[in-house]
Amino acid sequence: MSSPSSRPHVLAVAKLPPFLMGPLQESFEVHDRLHESDPVAFAKIAPLIRGVAGGGESKVPRALIEQLPALEIISIMGVGYDGVDVSAALERRIPVTHTPGVLNDEVADLALGLMLSVARRIPLADRYVRAGQWAKEGAMPLARKVSGARLGIVGLGRIGQAIALRAEAFGMSIAYTGRSAKPDLAYSFYPTAQALAAAVDFLVVITPGGAGTRHLINADVLKALGPEGYLINVARGSVVDEAALVEALAKGVIAGAGLDVFEQEPHPMEALWSMDNVVLTPHMASATVQTRHAMANLAVSNLRAHFDGQPLFTPVPEWQ
Catalytic residue set? 236, 265, 283
107, 217, 296, 298: residue in contact with ligand NAP (rule CB under 6 A): 107
Q: 83 touches which of ligand NAP, ligand 8YV, none (CB within 5 to 8 A by kind)? A: none
Q: 55 touches which of ligand 8YV, ligand NAP, none (CB within 5 to 8 A by kind)? A: ligand 8YV
Of 102, 99, 101, the C-alpha closest to 81 is: 99
Residue 27 or 314: which CB sits closer to ligand NAP? Answer: 314
C-alpha 54/C-alpha 75 separation (Å) is 6
Site size for ligand 8YV (CB under 6 A):
10
C-alpha 85/C-alpha 98 separation (Å) is 13
Contact 80, 260 (CB under 8 A): no
Of 200, 188, 246, the C-alpha closest to 224 is: 200
CA angle centred on 261, ends 201 and 53, rounded to 5°: 140
- Phi/psi at 189 (5° precision): -95, 135
Q: Which of residues 2-21 bind ligand NAP (CB under 6 A)?
A: none
Contact 177, 196 (CB under 8 A): yes
Q: 77 touches which of ligand NAP, ligand 8YV, none (CB within 5 to 8 A by kind)? A: ligand 8YV
Contact 288, 105 (CB under 8 A): no
Q: Is position 164 an interface residue for ligand NAP (rule: CB under 6 A)?
A: no
Residue, CB closest to ligand NAP: 157
178, 229, 258, 268: residue in contact with ligand NAP (rule CB under 6 A): 178
DSSP code string of 173-217: EEEEE-SS--TTS-SEE-SSHHHHHHT-SEEEE----SGGGTT-B
Nearest approach in angstroms of CB 264 to ligand 8YV is: 15
Nearest approach in angstroms of CB 106 to ligand NAP is: 8
Q: Which of residues 113-152 bind ligand NAP (CB under 6 A)?
A: none
Q: Is position 316 an interface residue for ligand NAP (rule: CB under 6 A)?
A: no
DSSP code string of 207-276: ---SGGGTT-B-HHHHHHH-TT-EEEE-S-GGGB-HHHHHHHHHTTSSSEEEES--SSTT---GGGTT-T
Nearest approach in angstroms of CB 55 to ligand 8YV is: 3
Q: Which of residues 253-312 bind ligand 8YV (CB under 6 A)?
A: 283, 286
Q: Is position 206 an interface residue for ligand NAP (rule: CB under 6 A)?
A: yes
Contacting range for ligand NAP; rule: CB under 6 A; set: 12-20, 114-122, 153-161, 268-276: 153-161
Q: Which of residues 223-242 bind ligand NAP (CB under 6 A)?
A: 234-236
Q: What letter does residue 315 receive in the DSSP assignment?
A: B
Residue 46 or 53: which CB sits closer to ligand 8YV? Answer: 53
Site string for ligand 8YV, 21-60 (x = CB under 6 A): ----------------------------------xxx---
- Phi/psi at 54 (5° precision): -155, 180
Q: 160 touches which of ligand NAP, ligand 8YV, none (CB within 5 to 8 A by kind)? A: ligand NAP
C-alpha 197/C-alpha 220 separation (Å) is 10
Q: β-pairing, 96-97 with 49-55?
A: unpaired
Which positions touch ligand 8YV (CB under 6 A)? 55-57, 77-80, 103, 283, 286
Which positions touch ligand NAP (CB under 6 A)? 79-80, 100, 103, 107, 155-160, 178-180, 206-209, 212-213, 216, 234-236, 260-261, 283, 285-286
